[in-house]
Amino acid sequence: MNLLQTFRLADLVVSFFCIVATGALIADEPKSEQSPNPDSGRLVLDLSGQQWQMEGIRPGQGQIEGFHEYFGEVCPSTFNWNGAEVPGDVYTDLWRAGEIDDPHYGRNALRAKWVMEKEWWYRRQFGVPASWQGKTIHVCFEGVDYGCEVWLNGKSLGRHEGMFSPFEFEISEHLLYRDDRRANCLVLKLDPPPRSYRKVAGRKFAWHGDYWRTLTPIGIWKPVKIVATGDARITDVYPKTTIHDDGSATVDVQVSLYRENPDAFAELNVRSVIKGIGFESEPVEVEIAVPSDHVEGTVTLSMKVPDAKLWWPWELGDPNRYVVETTLIDSNGFLSDQSETKFGIREIRMQRNPGYSEEQVRNPWTFLINGKRLFMRSASWGGPPDIFYGRNSDEKYRQLIEMARDANLNNLRIFGWHPSEVDVFYDLCDELGVTVWQDLLPLASVRLPEDEAFREATFAEGVSMIMQLRHHPSLVMLEGGEEMFFGTQGLEYNADFLVGLGEAIRPFTDLPYVTTSPLDWPAMLHQRGLGGPKDSGHTHYLFYAMGGKLLEDYIAEWDFAVIPEFAISSAPNVDSIRKFIPPDEVWPPGPSWGFHWADLDTFIALNEQVVGDTQTDTLEHFVAATQVSQGVIFQWGIEHMRRRKPKSSAISICHFITFAPDMKWGIVDYFQEPKLSYDYVKRACQPLLVSIETKQRRWKSGETGEVNLWVVNDLDKTFEGCNIEAEVIDQKGNQIASNRFAVDEVNRDSSRKIDAFAWEVAGEVGDTFKVVARLIDKDGKQVSYNEVMLFVGDQEAARQQAQQRSQRYRDHKAKFPTADYYRFFPEYWGAERAKWFGGDNRLTPKATLD
């Protein structure tokens, strides 16, 4: 019998009660707001904050020194440990203490590698009221990265591994019931962090690859709480909703229970009340009696909500939410436990994309939310805001998710290279009507160990994750992993593993699930029916081939149902660069640029192709050019996919943010500053979009330039009597052509070509001009604006130059190890290797790597 078969549901969900089922009050002094008796119901002491201490020592030595012991001393030998904060991480605590310099600055991270060679001990003293004696008390850890061992008052509680699964220990018998804040001491030892991602894939996120260098994250990254209840406890609450044609909805509230002492009382009454959040609604409630022989398991309270207020993505309606309040009353009339769980009433279905055969596309990719089709304008989240958990905050999350919505994104993808997010991320997406496409576990670009224990532990982690997340209405799509068929070995086993993961979570959710992305290759996927050649594609060619094709040629080739990733890099804003690059390396770029993932060859190649010049004369020009290049390419790709609807139904750029200061993917930099590319994405993602399509970006003087004008409408609203006003403006701001096109009707949820707009091209080679289009409604109001930048030039010559330039830079890169940034700084390799580049090849005014 395997691990999942022997893993009792109640044992699993017990470890979630301190997360999914929110306590009556979280405060320094535990008390209840829901019961007249302050000592009844659920009482929570949140140990989050700055009252922790930490210390590092050689692996194994901490226990020899007695770090786990506690004798209630006023001034113990741990008195001079560093201060620490939970939630947080080891590196941030050491940085605040002055033991390491900021790892984000320059190449400081290289000098902090010693941190990974130690075990790290955390301790927190606390008191509990005498009135808690006789209650059932647990210490709940919502997330520890990665492996740890726990003691309370010198008594060993146990071990845990896996950063995403919460865990708990029953501690009633180990506590001293005194209000003295030094009465009890909780101690946690963090193992040295894993160094091989493959061995912990899925239970810890990938900290390597072209996102991060050097340091493995480690810390207590989610809250720690002491939770007291009666003998009967709520271990999970899941409101499962069904929408009816008459506008009502059924909410089946699945309440998982556990009794510590089955003989303590006879019957148990379970009561749930549903209320609207932020709108008037009549409470709906139901109560059932559970017999004495029901020790653990799930009961369902079914309730009918008339005139249900549905949860919608922001462009289709209001993201209405409800809360279900659940209480347990024992046969003695004692309130044993209570919880609150927020949820939304919504229905997710998937529909096949039209225009593809079943051999071309195996999976349904059209998202129907409450029966309405949603084209996903998405971005890989790329978070958390900081890879060092101690630097994150609710304020950062709110600012960034509001910026995503302001950029007209209706979806964020938590993808397999990055960790599943903290509760506030999903709460904010629920509140703001932003859907979430979730790679359930961080499984990314790795050959998985063919080991049964690894498999079962990872599946259990996946079940843990879905049970934590499934009540969030923003969660609409699950994926098993990321690029799990990149490689030459183990692909068959990876496929079996991901199919098995989907089967393991199926009893706990009915959300759609796909194994991985992309699914367009290898052939093994097609043979197994997991994907087809046009299912989903990752469109990173322009970046990795350093602009080997013209962007308009490459993007025109796309023929996928969905694109889960479309990646182009850019530099962060100049003020941001100065915050993490040492002054003597800011310009010309020094090695810290390369350490923070600047591929200077690619920047220059794409600058030259997209904006017509390398722009290496000043830092300001160079940075702006990289951001405009990123923005133009993103705009081109997003609009291409949107014009194809309903045959195509989603595109996700890669990324919205990144979790460290870098020269890489995000359209918002690490310091929460939008790049110029942000505005291009915002324009391309307008729900109502006037789109400009052209097969080329260059015409010779005297030729006829031509673009097609489209209107794409993702709204559930029809517009009548509109017009498109189009004009061509030269680089001096002069209008050289204009026209007006009638649009009789813009249907809801539609994409349609309206007309072609042509003009005679004039100017010198290298001149730029732009085509501007405005959609004007019947009242004369502008409801959409768009523009594209074009050139006077030779399209075929530009095509050949792109190929030659790409080959030159790829040859340059091939002389060095993969991802080795030293190729830009030959002084590190000595004079002999410097000859490959003709001497110092750092950027200098009016010079390029050519």
The residue type found at 305 is V
Instruction: Give the H/E segment covering residue 652.
Output: strand 650-654
Is the model's pLDDT at 842 over the cut of 80? no
Q: Is residue 183 part of a domain?
A: yes
Residue 632 lies in a domain: no
- The lowest-confidence range among 253-262, 373-382, 629-638, 707-716 is 253-262
pLDDT for res 254: 97
Examine the fold and report which residue of 796, 819, 835 is the final residue of a domain before the chain moves on.
Answer: 796
Q: What CATH number did the domain enclosing 372 receive?
A: 3.20.20.80
Same domain? 755 vs 698:
yes
Number of H helices, E strands in the chain: 19, 37
- Residues 656 and 549 both lie in one domain: yes
Closest CA to 443 of 426, 419, 463: 419
Q: Does position 135 have pLDDT exceeding 90, yes or no?
A: yes
Q: Residue 839: its pLDDT value, please?
A: 39
Instruction: Read off the pTM.
Output: 0.93
User: What is the token pair recorded at 300?
Assistant: 């369902």
Q: Is 553 helix (H, G, I), strand (E, B) or coil?
A: helix
> Among 481, 510, 519, which residue's Cα sits nearest to residue 363?
519
Which long-range contacts link 91-95 to residues 24+ away (Cβ below 8 Å)? Answer: 91/115, 91/215, 91/217, 91/218, 91/219, 91/388, 91/390, 92/219, 92/388, 92/389, 92/390, 92/391, 93/54, 93/219, 93/390
**Other C-beta atoms lying within 10 Å of the C-beta of residue 255:** 26
Rounded average pLDDT over 91-100: 98
Does residue 54 surpass a pLDDT of 80?
A: yes
Q: In terms of residues, how long is the chain?
A: 850
Lowest mean pLDDT among 65-74, 379-388, 573-582, 723-732: 65-74
pLDDT (mean) for 44-68: 97
Q: Report yes or no on 811 lying in a domain.
A: no
In a domain, 608, yes or no: no
Q: What is the mean pLDDT of residues 545-562?
A: 97
Q: For a pLDDT cut of 90, what percent of the chain falls above it?
A: 81
Mean pLDDT across the stretch 443-453?
A: 94
Joined tokens for residue 188? 């946690």
Residues 206, 102 share a domain: yes
What's residue 74's pLDDT?
Answer: 79
Domain identity same for 394 and 311: no
- Please list, in sequence order, all residues whose beta carbon lies within 8 angstroms of the beta carbon of residue 229, skipping any fewer than 6 positions away: 41, 42, 43, 135, 136, 336, 337
**Single-letter residue type at 95:** W
The verdict on 236 and 220 lying in the same domain is: no
Residue 374 placed within a domain: yes
Going from the C-alpha of 255 to that of each of 17, 35, 277, 300, 421, the distances in angstroms are 11, 20, 21, 6, 24
CA 747 to chain centre: 33
Query: pLDDT tens-digit profile of 276-328?
Result: 999 988 999 999 998 866 667 899 999 999 999 999 999 999 999 999 999 99
Do 50 and 152 reside in the same domain of the chain?
Answer: yes
Domain stop point among 200, 229, 258: 229
Name the domain count of the chain: 4
User: Cα–Cα distance between 45 and 574 in angstroms, integer?
Assistant: 44
Whether residue 376 is found in the same domain as residue 403: yes
* Mean pLDDT of all residues in 159-171: 97
Residue 785 sits in a domain of what CATH number? 2.60.40.10
403 in helix, strand or coil?
helix
CATH number at residue 123: 2.60.120.260
For residue 732, pLDDT beyond 60: yes
Does residue 567 have a pLDDT over 90? yes
**Residue 9, domain member (yes or no):** no
In a domain, 439, yes or no: yes
Residues 363 and 316 in one domain: no
Q: Please give the pLDDT value at position 331.
A: 82
Given a cut of 50, whether residue 1 has pLDDT beyond it is no
Task: Judge if 663 and 715 occupy the same domain.
Answer: no
Q: Which residue has the higher pLDDT, 26 or 176?
A: 176
For residues 539 and 659, membership in a common domain is answered with yes
pLDDT at residue 668 greater than cutoff 80: yes
- With a cut of 60, say whether residue 15 has pLDDT above it: no
**For residue range 193-244, what is the model confidence (pLDDT) as tens digits?**
999 999 999 999 998 878 888 899 999 999 999 999 999 999 999 999 999 9
Q: Are residues 263 and 201 in the same domain?
A: no
| Domain limit, last residue, from 211, 229, 247 | 229
pLDDT of 440 > 50? The answer is: yes
- Look at strands 562-567 and 536-538 and give their pairing: parallel
- Residues spanned by the domain of 101: 42-229
β-strands 782-792, 698-699 pairing: parallel
Whether the CB-CB separation of 726 and 767 falls below 8 Å is answered with no
- Give a yes or no: residue 537 inside a domain: yes
Tokens for 382, please give them: 């790329």
**Measured at the alpha carbon of residue 397, what is the angle toward residues 17 and 161, in degrees to the nearest 5?**
45
Across 230-346, the runs of DSSP E, i.e. the strands, are: 232-243, 249-259, 268-277, 284-290, 296-305, 321-330, 335-343
Tokens of 409: 């994104």
- Looking at the fold, whether 225 and 236 belong to one and the same domain comes out as no
